Amino acid sequence: MSLPQPPEPIAGARLLFSLDPAVSHLNHGSFGAVPVGVQRTQQRLRDEVEANPLRFFTRGLVDRITHTRRHLAGFLGADPDGTALTTNATTGVAVVLRSLGLGPDDEVLTTDHGYGAVDLSVRRECRRSGATHRVLRVPLTATDEEITQIVRVGLRPGRTRLLVVDQLTSPTARLFPVAAIVAVAREHGVAVLVDAAHAPGMLPAPVTDTGADFWVGNLHKWGYAPRGTAVLVVAPAWRDRIEPLVVSWEQDAGFPGNVEWQATMDYTAWLSAPAGLYTLRSLGVDRVRSHNAALAAYGQGVVGDSLGVAPADLPDPGGRAVAMRIVPLPAGLATTLDGAVALRTRIAERLATEVAVNAWSGRGWLRLCGQVYNTADEYERLAARLPALLSQR
């Protein structure tokens, strides 16, 4: 089986970012990268704040936030009246967990593909409320039908209050069949929270037709927004039950205003987010998506080949639409969180390359992303130098 070919570079795209040219940034999925034009938009807004803070916060800010929310919700295929801006996906998860009113007879169900900070949030809320946290094991090679069946069997009607499932998983780059999972959960009367941290900007209209009770997604990754920009989407039946983590002056306005208004926080990231979508549209949304997915597949192929992993053994759990790919590391490497962090740091310091390394299911995995500022030779350089570094145990 031959290796995939890299896509044609998008001319001039690298110049849109202020990334250090001495480093290969192959991990866009963790913290993103903000285009220069979006940085400047946010700085102009910060200048506006400091020119007259009282005017900025007290004359029309709620309306500006509402306008921004409607713009972002339209891009995502979400109902603007059921969408709240928030600082990140894990904050949205915490809002949902706190609003459910869990008790000792309840359980929250997650999968072993979930994001670590979300699991920590679930555990904390379960400790506080006396509820139970249970984890479903989902094989990396499971088909969509098999995943749906695992969820079906794992639900406990009358006890499972919430199912948390990823739309696109962080450690394994797996695209989950969320619409089918939500349909199964609804048959059993179980609410579903979709963690879609990586979906905005990467997947087209990711909220549309999922049917989830709750959906959270970050705009700062694949939507080119400043960090601290995310959305929480809530189905109509739940909106009057949502409580913010901090009460402020818009509390009586109800959702989404009570979640969005957090006193004197920095709102400039949110107000700059439409500039990120403008950048994405200027490059061509479909063009960017196909480029990034193809580049990630190429990177996975060349790095996997350098580590002796046959193309047939390289996981492809996300399909062609996903701009993240994983490569299995040699046995015994990065099998714990500490080991994964240590290896990621070694790669960064010795190879001048930023990647993600995750410990999942007893094995270490290298995660590579594709973005418009990346080029094929960056993955090739990593492939040429990584085996020697890994051999130095």
| pLDDT of res. 2 | 73
| pLDDT of res. 37 | 98
Give the span between the Cα atoms of 113 and 104, in whole angstroms: 25
| pLDDT of res. 316 | 78
| pLDDT of res. 318 | 63
β-bridge pairing 214-218 and 191-195: parallel
- Answer whether residue 320 shows pLDDT above 80: no
Give the span between the Cα atoms of 218 and 231, in whole angstroms: 7
Which residue from 311, 381, 313, 319 is spatially nearest to 3, judged by alpha carbons?
311
**How many percent of the chain have pLDDT more than 90?**
94
CA-angle at 194, arms to 293 and 65, nearest 5°: 90
Radius of gyration over every alpha carbon of the chain, rounded to an integer in angstroms: 21
In this prediction, residues 148-171 reach a mean pLDDT of: 97
Which H or E run contains 110? strand 107-111
| pLDDT of res. 317 | 60
pLDDT tens digits for 321-362?
Answer: 899 999 999 999 999 999 999 999 999 999 999 999 999 999
Which residue from 306, 309, 297 is spatially nearest to 386, judged by alpha carbons?
306
| pLDDT of res. 337 | 95
In this prediction, residues 156-185 reach a mean pLDDT of: 96
How is residue 70 annotated by DSSP? H
| pLDDT of res. 63 | 96
Q: What is the distance of C-alpha 60 from the center of its chain?
A: 31
- 347 close to 368: Cβ distance less than 8 angstroms: no
| pLDDT of res. 319 | 67
| pLDDT of res. 209 | 87
pLDDT tens digits for 289-317?
Answer: 999 999 999 999 999 999 999 988 898 76
**How many percent of the chain have pLDDT more than 70?**
99
| pLDDT of res. 1 | 56
Q: For residue 312, count CB atoms less than 10 angstroms from its CB and return exposed for 0-12, middle for 13-18, buried for 19 or more.
A: exposed
| pLDDT of res. 4 | 84
In this prediction, residues 163-182 reach a mean pLDDT of: 96
In this prediction, residues 99-109 reach a mean pLDDT of: 97
| pLDDT of res. 159 | 96
pLDDT tens digits for 199-227?
Answer: 999 999 999 889 999 999 999 999 999 99
Map out the domains of the chain with their CATH numbers. Answer: 13-33+285-391 (3.90.1150.170), 38-278 (3.40.640.10)
The pair of structure tokens assigned to 228 is 């601290």
In this prediction, residues 108-128 reach a mean pLDDT of: 97
In this prediction, residues 161-181 reach a mean pLDDT of: 96
In this prediction, residues 253-260 reach a mean pLDDT of: 96
pLDDT tens digits for 352-388?
Answer: 999 999 999 999 999 999 999 999 999 999 999 999 9
Q: What is the distance of C-alpha 44 from the center of its chain?
A: 27
In this prediction, residues 184-195 reach a mean pLDDT of: 97
| pLDDT of res. 321 | 84
